[in-house]
Amino acid sequence: MLGHVLRHPARPAVALIGGVKISTKIKLVKELAKRYDAVLLGGGLVNPLLAEQGFEIGASLTEQGVSQAVKPLLKLKKVFLPVDVVVGIPAKPASLARVVPIAIDAPSVVCRKQECIGDVGPATILAWAAKIKKAKTIVWNGPLGIAEIPRFSHGTIALGRLIASRSKGRALGVVGGGETVEALERTGMANWVDHVSTGGGAMLEFLEGKTLPGVKPLYGRAVKH
């Protein structure tokens, strides 16, 4: 299944990639940007990209030392970042979350000192939903925010439901990764998705174009993607 969505995706093809560490997904994003019509980035992956563009991201979790590595991703026309985000203080359940637009042409303060980016915003959900609704192939790996906290889970759950509703007919839907599968289960629609993989990191390495160590012996050679 993963070989099919990598080598022969029905078009338009859309990939939704979330999670935390951008350093482990740079090659993947570049590869998908060559093969897919849109690569939508969410979760902690976005934080160093926003910081690189001059946005103040407060206490948002972000990798250090990846500034030079992420710069090429900002130039890829098929890579899309959130147009708004939900920010707040995760450690304070009673604190209010707020929506902040991301104006690329005018970098500003996205988060105050104690705040962090917790989710994609409603405008992003609408924009990405429009792309997903047109897609014939959909691949999703990684939550789009701090999905284990209810007030930061709306983007992940809403787009997860949409991916499930488009699968098994209108599009081929493939979802993978432990946290992603957990989020998909929370939608109550996991059975609607064409293929669910528990192999998060392995799935991403395969889609990046690597030959997995357990696959090579089966073929007796490296598998060309």
Q: What is residue 66's predicted lDDT score, i.e. its pLDDT? A: 93
Q: What is residue 73's predicted lDDT score, i.e. its pLDDT? A: 96
User: Is the pLDDT reported for residue 81 higher than 90?
Assistant: yes
Using alpha carbons only, what angle is made at residue 53 by residues 31 and 142, rounded to the nearest 5 degrees? Answer: 45
Over residues 10-49, the pLDDT tens digits come to 999 999 999 988 999 999 999 999 999 999 999 999 999 9
> Is the CB of residue 118 less than 8 Å from the CB of residue 150?
no
Model confidence at 79, pLDDT cuts 50, 70, 90, reads very high
User: Is the pLDDT reported for residue 85 higher than 90?
Assistant: yes
Using alpha carbons only, what angle is made at residue 209 by residues 185 and 168, rounded to the nearest 5 degrees? Answer: 35
User: Is the pLDDT reported for residue 118 higher than 80?
Assistant: yes
Segment 177-197 shows an average pLDDT of 94
User: Is the pLDDT reported for residue 209 higher than 90?
Assistant: no
Q: What is the rounded CA–CA span in Å between residue 25 and residue 22?
A: 5
Cis peptide before 12 (omega within 30 of 0): yes
Q: What is residue 222's predicted lDDT score, i.e. its pLDDT? A: 62
Q: What is residue 210's predicted lDDT score, i.e. its pLDDT? A: 83
Q: What is the rounded CA–CA span in Å between residue 109 and residue 156?
A: 24
| Amino acid identity, position 175 | V
Average pLDDT over the chain, rounded to whole?
93
Using alpha carbons only, what angle is made at residue 72 by residues 67 and 77, rounded to the nearest 5 degrees? Answer: 135
Model confidence at 213, pLDDT cuts 50, 70, 90, reads confident
Model confidence at 165, pLDDT cuts 50, 70, 90, reads very high
Under the phi-then-psi rule, with left for phi > 0, alpha for psi from -120 to 50, and beta for the rest, what region is 160? Answer: alpha
Q: Which has the higher per-residue pLDDT, 160 or 217? A: 160
Among 29-33, 74-78, 95-99, name the one with the lowest average pLDDT.
95-99
Q: What is the rounded CA–CA span in Å between residue 108 and residue 143?
A: 25
Task: Look up the CATH number of domain 2-219.
Answer: 3.40.50.1260
Q: What is the rounded CA–CA span in Å between residue 50 and residue 109?
A: 11
Q: What is residue 122's predicted lDDT score, i.e. its pLDDT? A: 98
Segment 167-188 shows an average pLDDT of 95
User: Is the pLDDT reported for residue 215 higher than 90?
Assistant: no
Q: What is the rounded CA–CA span in Å between residue 198 and residue 66?
A: 28
Segment 187-199 shows an average pLDDT of 93
> Is the CB of residue 159 less than 8 Å from the CB of residue 123?
no
Instruction: Give the count of beta carbons closer than 10 Å to the beta carbon of residue 55.
Output: 24
C-alpha neighbours within 13 Å on the C-beta side of residue 14: 24
